[in-house]
């Protein structure tokens, strides 16, 4: 039986349909908004054969090219490995749904979202969050509360819910993806053009009202058609055993936590854990897993209670930032580099400048193939946390962190018209103890400034945390790894001294309030301003010149009817210039020409050749031409690559010339003056006008000498 329900959000109707598609999945929802349609399924697997200490949730989001009436580009016409957009979409759906499952739940859950049709009227990933939530809600999984999501734009000073994708890209100052329950917020992902903290909070409040509306519709619908839920066995801790272990290890834990160095502290805690497990393995072999759980609980409770009292692991105050160290120009032959260290988190960022043709080609549902001119890649090697494991290409986390730091810098990049370079920044995490993505944001800014990229303003980032027990909570500035792991929130905020350019928030509890976010944003603003001052102390402004090792990129505009002239027959002319100068030249259909040369001298050579090639003759101007053909009545002289004029026999000299072949030969170089350009384009030349001018000049000089 097919069941449907709809809700109006931001003036657009979202319809959820159940019972027509994918009926063997645990829960399946076909969602429609305008011409955008997604299918979301949520299916639960069997109990794991081996006990695990994590919830195995997998979310896969796929943008099918047929959804926009396209065939994939490239040699293979089948969709292959997930694109970055699909990976980011998978993360966007995963993050708000994960905390809604019971903390002790261990059965695998697989959520799949297919984008089946797309018209740009709404973000497919946002529609996917709503559909995936409802699919989980109507399934037999222990998912009890609806999660809903919207996008918020800021267009012409007004907040717009779920704006068209084109309007979001071209007109909006804000691109905010936000998810939550009917009562609180769970996930935030934002890119913005220096939006104030207050404006961002207003956007969140507007979003929360719409999220509540969608959530109530989901829950009412699930009550009507949902399956009975599986029971989750609650883990009951043996309180007597817990007290016994706590009395034995708490003082040891306190002593271990006095180590301010991360690896030393972790090693000390691991030794305590191994010791207690070994001891109790002999006493109660059947309770080894419970002992392990009890240790983690004691450690967690102690650190959280101490933090709530204002005592952080490393002794800092709640709003205190770890020591910062900054170096720029650390690598000799790169175009720009920076080493940013904050506590035991260290990132090396490297900026590379390239030509127009080196941008990344992106094929998406919304647009035809576009060229991305700014790229940021984030790498997190195992040695950064003292581990030894294989490196097998970028993970979802690395792609997500790279995209966040990239989004933070985009609003301050110079326009392509002013700085026609392709820009690539790579951030190598060398040490990690929390907040590496925000260290990458700071490192990216510094590397770009070192490379001479004229960014409008520097951007800095900070990670905020939260410890919340009941009504008591504390917001933490610049969280380190343990505070992220044991805390309730990871809230990354990046921006300039004028406002926010990027946000990302994930939580482990079932929602937080706007009031908590207001405190977090204000603390983040103060921290951001402090870090920006530290950065300015090292490099106050972008370097006035780009690196001598960077290529030179120049943009020029030619008439569209001259494009064929520059390209030449079969591309012969342009290939000749490129091949002889080791350069790159890209020509747009509107006549815009992008030249990338290895250095300034070669760039000048290319410009000279192009200008000569495209130059047009001017009346009264003298040219050095070459005789290309002789006639009885005169000579045809090539004065420019594509222009030949007539040098009439009467214009060769003041004397009478009977046979032109005695005066001129094919291949002779002659200086001629353009005396007339006819309406039909024919050019009249004169050699004697040049000679007369030369004689006149000599006569004047001689007269001056005699007077002196």
Q: What is the pLDDT of residue 200?
A: 97
Q: What is the pLDDT of residues 345-366, one digit of tens each?
A: 999 999 999 998 888 888 888 7
Q: Percent of the chain at pLDDT above 90?
A: 75
Identify the weakest region by mean pLDDT among 44-48, 227-231, 545-549, 671-675: 44-48
Identify the weakest region by mean pLDDT among 213-217, 287-291, 513-517: 287-291
Q: What is the pLDDT of residue 358?
A: 87
Band of residue 692 on the pLDDT scale cut at 50, 70, 90: confident
Q: What is the mean pLDDT of residues 185-202?
A: 97
Radius of gyration of the chain (CA): 35
Q: What is the mean pLDDT of residues 563-590?
A: 91
Owner of token pair 């037999």: 140
Q: What is the pLDDT of residues 287-325, one digit of tens each?
A: 888 888 899 999 999 999 999 999 999 899 999 999 999
Rounded Cα distance, 270 and 265, in Å? 9
Band of residue 423 on the pLDDT scale cut at 50, 70, 90: very high
Band of residue 25 on the pLDDT scale cut at 50, 70, 90: very high
Boundary (domain end) residue, out of 260, 277, 308: 308
For 353-401, the DSSP string reads EE-GGGSEEE--SSSSSEEE-EEEEEE--GGGGT------S--HHHHHH
- Quick one: 563 and 631 in the same domain? no
3-state class of 643 per DSSP?
A: strand
Residue 99 has pLDDT above 60, yes or no: yes
Tokens of 560: 């569209």
For 590-632, the DSSP string reads TSEEEEEESSHHHHHHHHHHHHHHH----TT-EEEEEEEEEET
Per-residue DSSP letter, 13: E
- Quick one: 65 and 187 in the same domain? yes
Owner of token pair 């709404």: 122
Boundary (domain end) residue, out of 172, 197, 225: 225
| Domain boundaries, position 76 | 3-225
Band of residue 380 on the pLDDT scale cut at 50, 70, 90: very high
Identify the weakest region by mean pLDDT among 193-202, 356-365, 647-656: 356-365
- Quick one: 14 and 152 in the same domain? yes
Rounded Cα distance, 693 and 617, in Å? 19
Owner of token pair 């299918």: 39
Buried-exposed string 627-664: b where 16+ CB fall within 10 A, e elsewhere: beebeeebbbbebbeebbbbbbbebbeeeeeeebeebb
Q: What is the pLDDT of residue 502?
A: 98
Residues 6+ apart with CB under 8 A from 604: none
Rounded Cα distance, 479 and 2, in Å? 48
Rounded Cα distance, 645 and 672, in Å? 10
Q: For the chain, how many structural domains are there in total?
A: 5
Residue 232 lies in a domain: no
Residue 233 lies in a domain: no
Owner of token pair 């000799």: 332
Residue 316 lies in a domain: no
Q: What is the mean pLDDT of residues 231-254?
A: 89
Residue 462 lies in a domain: yes
Residues 6+ apart with CB under 8 A from 363: 65, 70, 72, 73, 83, 369
Residue 200's CB is within 10 A of a number of other CB atoms, namely 25
Cβ atoms of 283 and 303 within 8 Å: the answer is no
- Quick one: 344 and 297 in the same domain? no
Rounded Cα distance, 425 and 445, in Å? 10
Q: What is the pLDDT of residues 552-575, one digit of tens each?
A: 999 999 988 889 989 989 999 999
- Quick one: 677 and 700 in the same domain? yes
Q: What is the mean pLDDT of residues 683-693?
A: 86
Tokens of 186: 């769970």
Q: What is the pLDDT of residue 700?
A: 52
Tokens of 553: 């990129």
- Quick one: 492 and 592 in the same domain? no
Owner of token pair 């749904």: 97
- Quick one: 156 and 263 in the same domain? no
Q: What is the mean pLDDT of residues 51-70?
A: 91
Residue 558 lies in a domain: yes
Rounded Cα distance, 404 and 410, in Å? 10
Q: What is the mean pLDDT of residues 206-226?
A: 97
CATH code at position 638 = 2.40.50.140
Strands of 282-373 (E only): list them. Answer: 324-328, 336-342, 345-354, 360-362, 370-372
Q: What is the pLDDT of residue 340?
A: 98
- Quick one: 53 and 196 in the same domain? yes
Band of residue 694 on the pLDDT scale cut at 50, 70, 90: low
Relative to beta strand 174-180, strand 185-195 is: antiparallel
Residue 151 lies in a domain: yes
Q: What is the pLDDT of residue 303?
A: 93
- Quick one: 371 and 478 in the same domain? yes
Owner of token pair 């065939």: 71
Band of residue 693 on the pLDDT scale cut at 50, 70, 90: low
Residue 139 lies in a domain: yes
- Quick one: 583 and 636 in the same domain? no
Rounded Cα distance, 233 and 424, in Å? 50
Boundary (domain end) residue, out of 597, 614, 631: 614
Q: What is the pLDDT of residue 695?
A: 57
Rounded Cα distance, 143 and 134, in Å? 10
Identify the weakest region by mean pLDDT among 5-19, 330-344, 646-660: 646-660
pLDDT, averaged across the chain: 92
Burial class (CB in 10 A: 0-12, 13-18, 19+), 118: buried
CATH code at position 520 = 3.30.230.70
Band of residue 696 on the pLDDT scale cut at 50, 70, 90: low
Band of residue 691 on the pLDDT scale cut at 50, 70, 90: confident
Residue 699 has pLDDT above 60, yes or no: no
- Quick one: 701 and 601 in the same domain? no
CA–chain centroid gap for 128, Å, is: 21
- Quick one: 600 and 473 in the same domain? no
Residue 484 known to bind ligand: yes
Q: C-alpha distances in angstroms, 250 versus 255, 311, 390?
A: 9, 16, 36
Rounded Cα distance, 555 and 606, in Å? 12
Residue 490 known to bind ligand: yes
CA–chain centroid gap for 314, Å, is: 33
Q: What is the pLDDT of residues 135-147, one digit of tens each?
A: 999 999 999 999 9
Residue 259 has pLDDT above 80, yes or no: yes
Residue 234 lies in a domain: no
Buried-exposed string 205-231: b where 16+ CB fall within 10 A, e elsewhere: ebbbebbbbbbebbbebbeeebeeeee
């Amino acid at each position: 039986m097919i069941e449907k329900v709809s809700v109006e959000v931001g003036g657009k109707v979202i319809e959820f349909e159940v019972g027509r598609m994918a009926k063997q999945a645990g829960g399946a929802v076909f969602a429609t908004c305008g011409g955008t349609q997604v299918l979301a399924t949520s299916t639960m697997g069997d109990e794991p054969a081996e006990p695990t200490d994590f919830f195995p949730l997998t979310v896969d989001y796929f943008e099918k090219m047929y959804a926009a009436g396209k065939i994939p580009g490239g040699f293979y016409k089948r969709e292959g490995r997930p694109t970055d957009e699909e990976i980011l979409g998978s993360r966007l759906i995963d993050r708000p749904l994960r905390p809604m499952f019971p903390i002790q739940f261990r059965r695998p859950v697989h959520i799949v979202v297919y984008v089946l049709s797309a018209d740009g009227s709404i973000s497919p990933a946002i529609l996917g969050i709503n559909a995936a939530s409802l699919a989980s809600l109507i399934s037999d999984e222990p998912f009890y509360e609806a999660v809903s999501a919207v996008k918020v734009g800021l267009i012409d000073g007004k907040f717009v819910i779920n704006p068209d994708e084109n309007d979001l890209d071209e007109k909006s100052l804000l691109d905010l993806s936000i998810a939550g329950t009917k009562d609180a917020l769970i996930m935030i992902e934002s890119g913005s053009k220096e939006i104030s903290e207050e404006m961002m909070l207003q956007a969140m409040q507007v979003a929360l009202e719409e999220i509540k509306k969608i959530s109530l519709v989901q829950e009412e619908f699930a009550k009507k058609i949902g399956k009975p839920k599986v029971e989750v066995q609650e883990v009951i801790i043996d309180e007597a055993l817990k007290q016994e272990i706590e009395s034995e290890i708490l003082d040891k834990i306190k002593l271990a936590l006095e180590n301010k160095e991360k690896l030393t502290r972790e090693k000390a805690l691991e030794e305590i854990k191994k010791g207690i497990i070994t001891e109790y393995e002999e006493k109660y072999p059947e309770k080894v897993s419970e002992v392990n759980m009890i240790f983690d609980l004691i450690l967690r409770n102690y650190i959280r209670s101490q933090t709530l009292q204002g005592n952080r692991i490393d002794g800092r105050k709640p709003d205190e930032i770890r020591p910062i160290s900054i170096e720029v120009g650390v690598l000799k032959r790169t175009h720009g580099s920076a080493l940013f260290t904050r506590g035991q988190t260290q990132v090396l960022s490297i900026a590379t400048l390239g030509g127009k043709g080196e941008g990344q080609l992106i094929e998406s549902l919304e647009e035809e193939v576009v060229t991305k001119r700014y790229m940021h890649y984030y790498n997190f090697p195992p040695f950064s946390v003292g581990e030894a494991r294989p490196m097998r290409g970028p993970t979802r986390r690395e792609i997500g962190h790279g995209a966040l730091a990239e989004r933070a810098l985009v609003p301050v990049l110079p326009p392509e018209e002013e700085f026609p370079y392709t820009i690539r920044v790579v951030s190598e995490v060398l040490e990690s103890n929390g907040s590496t993505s925000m260290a990458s944001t700071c490192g990216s800014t510094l590397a770009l400034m070192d490379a001479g990229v004229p960014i409008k303003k520097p951007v800095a980032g900070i990670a905020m945390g939260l410890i919340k027990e009941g009504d008591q909570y504390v917001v933490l500035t610049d969280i380190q790894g343990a505070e992220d792991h044991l805390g309730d929130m990871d809230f990354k905020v990046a921006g300039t001294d004028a406002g926010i350019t990027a946000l990302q928030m994930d939580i482990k509890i079932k929602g937080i309030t706007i009031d908590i976010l207001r405190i977090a944003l204000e603390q983040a603003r103060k921290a951001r301003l402090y870090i920006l001052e530290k950065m300015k102390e090292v490099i106050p402004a972008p370097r006035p010149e780009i690196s001598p090792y960077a290529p030179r990129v120049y943009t020029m505009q030619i008439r569209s009817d001259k494009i064929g002239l520059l390209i030449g027959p079969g591309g012969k002319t342009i290939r000749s210039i490129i091949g002889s100068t080791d350069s790159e030249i890209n020509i747009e259909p509107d006549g815009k020409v992008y030249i990338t040369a290895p250095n300034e001298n070669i760039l000048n050579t290319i410009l000279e050749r192009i200008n000569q090639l495209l130059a047009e003759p001017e009346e009264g101007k003298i040219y050095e031409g070459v005789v290309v053909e002789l006639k009885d009545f005169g000579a045809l002289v090539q004065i420019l690559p594509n222009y030949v004029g007539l040098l009439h026999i009467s214009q060769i000299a003041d004397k009478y010339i009977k046979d032109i072949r005695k005066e001129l030969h094919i291949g002779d170089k002659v200086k001629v003056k353009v005396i007339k350009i006819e309406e039909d384009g024919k050019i009249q030349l004169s050699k004697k006008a040049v000679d007369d001018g030369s004689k006149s000049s000599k006569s004047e000089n001689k007269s001056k000498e005699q007077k002196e």
